[in-house]
Amino acid sequence: MITMYYDNTCPVCRTEALHMAEKKPDAIRIVSINDAREELAKFGISEDEAMTYLCVRDKQGNLQKGMDAVRLLYKTAQLPFATMFEWPVVKQASDMIYPIFARHRNRVPNWMTQLVYGKVAADCKEGMCKTRGK
């Protein structure tokens, strides 16, 4: 089983996490970054870094970050287009584009998230998600 650490205040992140957990509940465990600060710190990942770039712990206990994490997540979820991210040109382009997307993902409108996933997490409205303590 892999573990996906996600920003539970970001509609894109929360929706994707819930989608992945529904798709492969026996293969993908989702954990909010708020609940995993100490665990991520053991890998040298700051909260700010984890809140910016996707982090996934693989079956061997190693931490993947950024597009490496995305590729592992999509492969584990057996998404039909997952292998495309391994193609040399696509891999190189996605490695360059991902950091830009990651830093600006909170600007993605809910309608785009819905277009990709068919829905937006129920508690995410107007670009933010309601979480514990909010």
CATH of the domain at 42: 3.40.30
pLDDT, position 54: 97
Q: What is the mean pLDDT of residues 71-78?
A: 96
pLDDT surpasses 50 at 90: yes
Domain assignment present for 125? no
Domain assignment present for 73? yes
Domain assignment present for 128? no
Domain assignment present for 132? no
What residues have CB less than 8 Å from 1, skipping those under 6 apart? 26, 27, 28, 29, 59
- Write out the two tokens for 77: 């979820």
0.75 exceeded by pTM: yes
Which of 25-39, 49-63, 111-125 shows the lowest per-residue confidence on average (mean pLDDT)? 111-125
pLDDT, position 116: 87
Domain count, the chain: 1
In which domain, by residue range, is 14 found? 2-120
Q: Please list, residue by residue across 26-41, b when 16 or more beta carbons sit within 10 angstroms of its beta carbon and e when fewer do.
A: eebebbbbbebeebbe
Domain assignment present for 106? yes
Q: What is the rounded CA–CA span in Å between residue 94 and residue 67?
A: 7
The rounded mean pLDDT for the chain is 91
